Structure formats: structure tokens, C-alpha cells
Amino acid sequence: MSQYVSRFAGTLAGPPRLRLPGGHRKPRRVAMLSVHTSPLHQPGTGDAGGMNVYIVELAKRLAAINIEVEIFTRATTGGLAPTVEMSPGVLVRHVDAGPYEGLAKEELPAQLCAFTHGVMQAWAHQRPGYYDLVHSHYWLSGHVGWLAAQRWGVPLVHAMHTMAKVKNAALAEGDTPEPAARVIGETQIVNAADRLIANTAEEADELVRFYDADPGNVAVVHPGVNLDRFRPADGRTAARDRLGLPQDAFIPLFAGRIQPLKAPDVLLRAAAELLDRDPSLRSRMIVPVVGGPSGSGLAKPEGLQKLAAKLGISDVVRFRPPVGQDRLADWFRAASVLVMPSYSESFGLVAVEAQAAGTPVVAASVGGLPVAVRDGSTGFLVQGHDPKDYATALHRFVADPALVRRMGDAAARHAQSFGWGTAASATADVYTAAMYEHRRRVRSHHG
């Protein structure tokens, strides 16, 4: 861990309380911005993924500690109510910006002006000082947040979630690089934000290394996991019964958006390799791929099906559309192991959810996954993306079926440290520090 992140290391396992001299307080109300993905959308569809879950869970837990949250998001269908109460203390505001349907994430920068206008209109109806702070998610929201925070005279806290320079440095073969406009946009937000929240120490490192972020403005807060929903519950046997899966099967699962970045093809190639090594597995292996095409994967939605056919494993692969969170928890419980061969992950929330449900993980050793997965204890981390290496890791579970249970039990224990309550209180501490410093700066400026 870098020296400049170490002062935030306390946020990893439960933050130390910040001791700020006089006049500090938590915000009463936060404007949260999520331009390109609605917290009301189902993860695994379109651009909805881990970030949706992050925003929903964080907002609920902040409300539970008396910080009201209003989430501004782009309206993607007609006839939506302008405001929807998602849960007590959490309001979703739908902003009209561009056509409802068929607008790709890449086309959204052109709608930021319209989105900002909608945010400003909502604010204009409130009394002065209505929002204490702006918390933006992803670079598109950061640009709106930058303007809103300046206009309202409040601090801006920003979470990148993913970064163009990091993605471009680890691009999947055939994937499209992130455009220069995004790199420039992210650099501007890093300079403008009062505080940057990173999911892991490595992400904090990358903000400093790639974007020249001020180390003193970067705080590490691990995302949480909904431990009420993702838990071992009644176990693998019952989950397999509910999903109609055979009890004795070896089931390596992929769950997530289907796009080159997430590398589901690596799992299919590893499965083919496993069958080459042990043909008897064909009658007792099922490889579920749960999720929908997204991002650059939309260009070839049938690509994975064609790959399965080419590899001669269509009989063992099961393609399933994205499912709700409760059903997803059952898929995690039913699986022998979750496979995450991603090229880049800011945290890898799915890995923690699967472990919380009692399932070990085989993952690429990238981004936040080495924090999410304890190598050799709750699963295996693989260097690189060679399917043979993934097949070797998976074969350890085939060769020793007791390993699934042993590592699964360790995984469920490990995931307990990732509760959302911890993440919310750490985030509230970041808010408090940002407000304190913002007020001090304003005072010295006027003084």
C-alpha cells in the first residue's frame, strides 16, 4: 500500500472517527448524481451493474444514519414520475435529458448540459442551503456535480468507479479504447473535486499516478455487500433445487454484463480446456452465463453463443438473462465457484456477493479483486487471462470436491467485513471532512 494512502487505511476495516476542530457536522442532505444509470434499474441489464447496487445500498445506509439522499438520474422511459421515494430518506429524481430510448452511454456527454439544467431547476424550487454536499458517481456525473457544487457553494465528493486511463492500459483484445474526451473530462473532475472516494488502495494509487490527484484528497472506502440478501441461507442443495440444477454437477458460474472487459469468453475457453483434460466431466459440468450484453458487447450480442458452438461446448453452457438480486443470490449459492476473469475491476462487488453467499471465487488478479478475494483461502487469483490457467484453478475444485465447501465457508466469513453499514459511516466521515475543509477555505478566501 502506498504511503499516501496509508492515512486512509483505517477506512478499510472500519474507519477511525475523524476528529475535526470545532464547527464540523455531518451533512443533512446530499445530492447524489448518477447520470447514465438509474438506481431503479436491474443490475446486469444495459449499463446497469455494480455501480447501481453501490448507489442504492449506500443511499439507504446513509439515510439510516440521518443523512437524506436525493439521487438525480436521467429519465430513460416516458411517463416516469419526476420523483420516486425509493426508501425512507432516499428520493430518486428523474431528469429529462435527451431521448428516452436508444441513447448509448457514449452519446451522453452531449446531454450533460440538459441534465445540468434539470438539476438546477429542481434546486431552484428549494430554499437556500437545501443541499449540503454533492456526491457524483462516474465521470459523466462528475461534470454536472462540478457545476452544481460551485453554483450552490458546497463541496464536491466524486467516485470514479472506473477510469479511462486504467481501462485503456488493460484493454481486452478487440475492445474499443475509451475516448480522449473522457480522459480529459476525468482529469478536470480530479482537479475540481474536494474529495475523491476510491474503492481500494490500488484505485487511490491509480488516481495519483494516472491523474495527478492530490493524495490528501483521496479516501479509500470499500464498497459493501448486502449481507441480508447475500448469505449462505439454506445452502447449495436447496438453491440447485430451486434453479432446476443437478445436485452432483460441477458448476463454474459467470454473472455480470457480457462485454469483452468482463472476459466471459475466458471462462468458456477454460471450460473447453477442462473437458479436453477430463472428457468424463461433460456429463456433470454446467457453465451458466447469467447477464445481458453491454457496452462494446452490444455490437456482437451473439458472440458468446457462437464461441460456445465453435468450442463444441454448447451442450454444457446455459445462457440466462439478467435476474433480480434475490434470484442472483440463489445462482451464487448454487454455483460450485464464481469465475471473474475481468481485464479491469475497480472493486469486483460480484466477487464479494458470491463469497457472502458461501461460494469461492476464481478471479483475475486485477484492480480490487485481490482485496475482495483472499488468494488460497476464499478462492484463487489468476495472473493474466490464459484460459489454461483458469482451467487449472477450476480443476482443483473438480479434483477435491470438499474444497468447494471449505473455501466457501471461509469466503462467507471473509465477506462479513464488507457490510454496507461500515461503508456508509466511512463515507459520512469523508463528507464531514470535505464540508469542514470547504468552509475553512471559504472563510480564508473571504478573510
Residues in binding site? 36, 42-43, 47-52, 105, 138, 162, 182, 257, 262, 323, 332-333, 335, 345, 353, 359
User: Under CATH, which number does the domain 236-416 receive?
Assistant: 3.40.50.2000
**Range list for CATH 3.40.50.2000 in the chain:** 29-224+420-445, 236-416
97 or 33, higher pLDDT: 33
Query: Is residue 110 over pLDDT 70?
Result: yes
What are the pLDDT digits (tens) for 269-316?
Answer: 999 999 999 999 999 999 999 988 766 665 665 889 999 999 999 999
What pTM value is reported for the model? 0.76
Strands (DSSP E) found in 3-103: 29-34, 68-74, 83-87, 90-95
15 or 115, higher pLDDT: 115
Residues in binding site for 1D-myo-inositol 3-phosphate? 36, 47-52, 105, 138, 162, 182
What are the pLDDT digits (tens) for 21-68?
Answer: 445 688 999 999 999 778 887 555 455 567 888 899 999 999 999 999
Helices (H) and strands (E) in the chain, counts: 15, 14
Q: What is the pLDDT, as a whole number, of residue 14?
A: 40
Residues in binding site for Mg(2+)? 332-333, 335, 359
Q: Which fold has domain 29-224+420-445?
A: Rossmann fold (3.40.50)
As to burial, measured by CB atoms within 10 angstroms (0-12 exposed, 13-18 middle, 19+ buried), residue 314 is middle
Q: What is the pLDDT, as a whole number, of residue 170?
A: 78
Residues in binding site for UDP-N-acetyl-alpha-D-glucosamine? 42-43, 50, 257, 262, 323, 345, 353
Percentage of residues of the chain with pLDDT beyond 70: 90
What are the pLDDT digits (tens) for 223-262?
Answer: 888 899 999 999 999 999 999 999 999 999 999 888 888 9
Q: What is the pLDDT, as a whole number, of residue 48?
A: 58
Selection from 383, 375, 381 nearest residue 414 by Cα? 375
Q: What is the pLDDT, as a whole number, of residue 11?
A: 39
Residue type for 375, please? Answer: D
The angle at the Cα of 61, spanning 57 to 62, to the nearest 5 degrees, equals 115
Q: What is the pLDDT, as a whole number, of residue 301?
A: 58
| Spatial contact of 67 and 28, defined as CB atoms under 8 Å apart | yes
Query: Is residue 181 over pLDDT 50?
Result: yes
Q: What is the pLDDT, as a whole number, of residue 285?
A: 98
Selection from 227, 183, 222 nearest residue 348 by Cα? 222
Q: What is the pLDDT, as a whole number, of residue 174?
A: 78
Query: Is residue 18 over pLDDT 70?
Result: no
Q: What is the pLDDT, as a whole number, of residue 445?
A: 77
